Amino acid sequence: MDAVIAGDHEAFRTLVDREAQAVIGTCQRIIGDPGEAQDAAQDAFLQAYRMLATFRGDGPFGAWLRRIAIRIAVARVAARPEAIRLDADALDPRAAALSSDDDDPEAEALHAEWRTAVLDAVASLPDSQQRVILLRFFGDRSLREIAVLTGQPLGTVKSRLHRGLTGLRDQIALRSAQ
């Protein structure tokens, strides 16, 4: 990491080679399209390179990189016209007040902060739960489609969705209390 921060492009290439399959796989599970997943992974590596100075080192580099990739992939899916967006507002009782006055910069900032908190909470779920949440709410996939995509029984998908939503609600409630 020190070599990369010092400008050694070959050192970053080593990191890319080591993490490429995991990042592309993460993007593909969210996006579905292999070509678009590779584009999203490339964007994630570029963003990670630009943000290397912000890497705190309190966790594995690969996990940090995959969180960046998840945000990029989710943004790509959410930008699709047919996408169903995760309704972060429905989880927050303050949302109606925050979104009712779109001309208020403070309300807009709080609203954006809330949406970021929801995405961060999703990104911090265990991979199996995160995948189901993302496919269901951002990928507009039915539970049966998710079962086929993940190769898991429908009951497992339902269980992971339930546990993921419960974990998401708990994390959001905890963040709201802070």
Q: What is the CATH number of the domain that holds 134?
A: 1.10.10.10
The domain boundary, picked from 18, 45, 79, lies at 79
d(CA 155, CA 93): 31
Better pLDDT: 127 or 24: 24
pLDDT band at 23 (very low <50, low <70, confident <90, very high): very high
- Looking at every residue in the chain, the average pLDDT score rounds to 77
Residue 131: predicted pLDDT: 81
Q: Considering only 20-24, 86-90, 133-137, which range has the smallest mean pLDDT? A: 86-90
Residue 47 carries which DSSP code? H
pLDDT band at 103 (very low <50, low <70, confident <90, very high): low
d(CA 56, CA 58): 6
d(CA 14, CA 65): 14
d(CA 82, CA 172): 26
The domain boundary, picked from 28, 63, 79, lies at 79
Mean pLDDT calculated for residue range 98-115: 65
**Domain containing 20: what range?**
1-79
For residue 158, count other CB atoms closer than 10 A to its CB.
15
**Number of domains making up the chain:** 2
The domain boundary, picked from 79, 114, 133, lies at 79
